[in-house]
Structure 1
Amino acid sequence: MPRAAYPRKDWLAHYAELIGRWRRGGRGREDGEDAMHDTVLGMLEGGVGAICDPRAYMARGTSNRLISWHRHVNALEFTSLDAMSDAEHPSMPGADGGIRFQQLADALAEALEELPLKCRQVYVMCRLEGWSHSEIAREMGLSRSMVEKYMTRSVRHINVRLQNHGPY
C-alpha cells in the first residue's frame, strides 16, 4: 500500500521544486541542474542546519554558480587556428622560427604528459579538438563543474611549464 502523500517541509522539498523548475525550463537546463547539484553538495558538506533559509540558499547558490560559469566560459574564449585567416595566424619572425616552434611543441607535449590522464584528456578535447565543456562532460561522464576544474588545473600547469617559451 502506498504511503500517504504529505508536503515536505525540509530542504529536500525546495530541492525538488527548484530542480523541477530547471527541468521544465528550456535553454541551459543541464547547466542549471549541474549548478543546483553543486550547490546542494556544498550545502550538505557545510551542514544543512547552519542555513536559515535553505530555499533561498539553493536558489541564490545556483544562480551564482551559473553566473560564474558564464563568466568563466566567456573569459576563456578562443579561436581555433582553422577558423583564422592566413593573415591572422600567429607567426614567428626570423630564420629560427621553425626551431622555436618545435621547442614549444616539444615542451607542450612534455607538459601534457605530466598531467593526470583526465586533465590531459579534457585539455586536448577542449583546446586542441574544440569541444565545449558540456560536450566533454557528457562524453566523459563528468559534471561540467569537474570538467572546468580539470581544465583550470591543466591550463595553470601548462602556463607554468611554458613560461620560458614566451615571445622572443
Structure 2
Amino acid sequence: MWLFFVFIAIPLIEIGLFIQVGGWLGLWPTLLIVVVTAIAGTALVKSQGAQALAQLKNSFDDLRDPTEPLAHGAMILFSGALLLTPGFFTDFVGFALLVPAVRRFVLKKIKERVTVQTVRTDRGWQPQDETIIEGTYVSDENDQPSGPSGWRRD
C-alpha cells in the first residue's frame, strides 16, 4: 500500500513544484534548470560511481566485507536514475544521495531494519541428492577403450 502512495505522491509533488517554479521563473528558465541538473547529475554520478567501484575493488583485494561499497554503489545508481527523471523533488533526493554522509545515514537506517543470519555446520560435505551412486573406475590401458574416454566400469 505504501508503494501505491509513493507512485501517486511523487508525481503530484513534481507537478506542484513545476507549477510554482514555472510561475515564478517562467517556462524556459524552468526547463533549462531541469536539463542542467540532469547534465550535472550525470557527471557527478559518473565520478562518484567510479570511486565506489574502486572502493569495491579494494574491498575485494583486501578480503574485506564488500557490503558497504556495494550499498553505496547502489545508492549512487539510484541517485543517477532520480537525477535523470525530470523534476525538482527527484533532483533534490538524487543530489542528496550523492552526499556520502547522507548515504551513510541511509545505510545505517537500512542496517537497523535488516537482520542477517548465517548458518554454519561442522559436518563434512554430504551429497544433497540421494540418487547419487558411488562407483569405482580404473584405467584400462591394455584393452581398447570401450568409449571415447578410455575408462571402463569395474
TM-score, structure 2 normalization: 0.24
**Richer in helix (by share):** 1
TM-score, structure 1 normalization: 0.23
Structure index of larger Rg: 2
